[in-house]
Amino acid sequence: MTKARENSDYTGLAADIVAGDTAARAGRKNLILNGSMQISQRGTSFTGMTSSGTYGLDRYSHSIASAGTWSITKSSNAPSGFASSHRAEVTTAGLSGTGSYISLSYKIEAQDLQSLGYGTSGAKTSAISFWVKSSNIGNYSVWLYKYDGGRTISKTVTIDTANTWEHKSVVIDADTTGAIANDNTSGILLRLYYAAGSDYTSGTQQTNWGSGGDACDSSQVNLASTIGNYIEITGLQLEVGSVATDFEHRSYGEELALCQRYYHYVNQGNEQFNHIGSNYTTSNCYFKVQFPVTMRANPTGASTATANTYSAGSNIGANKPVTAALATTLSAQCFTSSLSGTAGYVSHIDLASGSITFDAEL
Amino acid sequence: MNQENTTAWITSCKLNESGWLVNGTMSVPNDPANRHCADVLQWIAEGNTPAPEFTDLEIAANAQSSINSESLEYLKSTDWYITRQAESGVEVPADVTTARAAAREAIV
């Protein structure tokens, strides 16, 4: 057995590991961030979800169109070895129209996918695995979309027993056509469909890399059919290799830092006293927010925060609004307004309520 | 196939220093790698036009705010003439008196 295999956490038969697998099993194998669903900077409960693009637990959003209303929670219900899971539950039933669908969505940064070797003769097979528990048994579709070239592939997993944790895996073929650009944009979109209309199920499922086929199995479960239907997922992993191996656990701090490349949350609790600024005018004070890690791209800044601003021993603005103005990948410029200070003075800004967020999600 | 970038979430958009202020609270940078930027560019491609950074009323208000700040600063910086006159009887120079009066009148 090679050193790499000795270091592997793979617990199955060594014979299952084919040539080329070993490097990926030696560590840092999971291409998914927050696969154990531990990190949730935005909160732990999200209700009223009816449309795409809103993030809940870090790195995870949903793609949804005319598929009812859903709530998302960070659940403490999880299989042995995990502390949390991602739970989606129907709060208003309904899958209306042939183009309707709902899926869990996860986008992977292109430069993190170079180990797949796509677009070359050395392209690698990969494996997706996860723990899942649902109220509804049947077939669910795992769909990948490659942004460069627009190629897709879809695989099916079957949940056999309701309300029971099951471990599922699918193997994703190597794709020798179409390289993934080595940059900071979206490389692959991974979806796990909870339900889909006939536009995505009535034709031939795209089970090999290509284009034009359906995203879902024809017998795709309709989880959106009834209020209270749910699905819980954790331990999501994408790794190079033809066999799914045990989940790669990372420390909470490491996982948080990895997620902060895409989203950074500032509030009274984590950065109340950390801001020094200068009064640009008598009424505005500018200050800097330093990001803990370099963000993927210049982030969108948004603020619901208020602050107390102290200058020359006085509170020159109690609970005044904070605006996120400019941001680069390393830091942001924010300001408080409606102050009564002196231009040019240094000020100390204490966040009083609300939050400032910086979003560089894919 | 929907890849998530949509424009339906954009209810208002105006120019700002780094790109656009969207929905009144989101400062979206003009960085094509930013997902919101991609949506704003799509929204513009659909025929929409971002509002200017400031309305005429806001421009006027900002200008008055600057005048107020400058005038207050001038009054503060010349208050010592008044104090000196009260304490020692030394007259305030005429040009200072005139300028202070103008500063007071300028403040709204």
**In chain B, residues 39-78 whose CB comes closer than 8 Å to chain A:** 65-66, 69, 72-73
What is the rounded average pLDDT of the residues A232-247? 97
> Is the pLDDT assigned to residue A15 strictly greater than 70?
no
Residue A43 has pLDDT above 60, yes or no: yes
Edge-to-edge strands, sheet with A69-75: A45-49, A69-75, A85-92, A230-240, A126-134, A166-172
Pick A18 or A72 by higher pLDDT.
Answer: A72
Residues of B within 8 A of A63 (CB-CB) are: 2, 4
pLDDT > 80? residue B1: no
Higher pLDDT, A28 or A160: A160
Pseudo-torsion of CA A22, A24, A25, A28, nearest 10°? 150
The overall average pLDDT reported for chain A is: 92
> Cβ of B2 and A65 within 8 Å?
yes
A298 and B2: CB-CB below 8 Å? no
Q: Flag whether residue B34 sits within 8 Å of chain A, measured between CB atoms.
A: yes
Record: contact A299-B34, CB cut-off 8 A: yes
Helices (H), A207-277: 252-260, 268-271
Contact between residue B40 and residue B20 where contact means Cβ atoms under 8 Å apart:
yes
Pick the more confident residue, A293 or B66.
Answer: A293
**Whether pLDDT at A358 is above 80:** yes
pLDDT > 90? residue A55: yes
Interchain proximity A189–B3, CB inside 8 Å: yes
Band of residue A21 on the pLDDT scale cut at 50, 70, 90: low
Who wins on pLDDT, B70 or A230? A230
How close B45 comes to chain A (CA, Å)?
20
pLDDT band, residue A26 (cuts 50/70/90): low
- pLDDT value of residue A205: 97
pLDDT digits (tens, 9 = 90+) for A160-210: 999 999 999 999 999 999 999 999 999 999 999 999 999 999 999 999 999
Q: How far apart are CA B1 and CA A190, in angstroms?
A: 13
Q: Which residues of A touch B69 (CB under 8 A)?
A: 281-283, 343
CB-CB neighbors (< 8 A) of A326 in chain B: 17-18, 27, 29
Taking an 8 Å cut-off on Cβ atoms, the answer to whether B27 and A105 are in contact is no
A325/B35 touch (CB, cutoff 8 Å), yes or no: no
pLDDT digits (tens, 9 = 90+) for B32-42: 999 999 999 99
Q: Do A298 and B17 touch (CB under 8 A)?
A: no
Report whether pLDDT(A83) > 80. yes
DSSP string covering B18-32, please? SEEEETTTEEEES-T
What whole-number distance in Å separates Cα of residue B76 and Cα of residue A77? 64
Chain A nearest-CA distance from B86, in A, is 25
In this prediction, residue B55 carries a pLDDT of: 82
The rounded distance, in Å, linking the Cα atoms of A23 and A251 is: 21
CA distance B74 to A35: 60
Q: Are A104 and A194 in contact (CB under 8 A)?
A: yes
Q: Which residues of A touch B33 (CB under 8 A)?
A: 184-185, 296-298
Residue A329 has pLDDT above 70, yes or no: yes
- What average pLDDT does range A284-289 have in this prediction? 94
- For residues A109 and A191, what is the distance between their CA atoms, to the nearest angstrom? 15
pLDDT on residue A24: 47
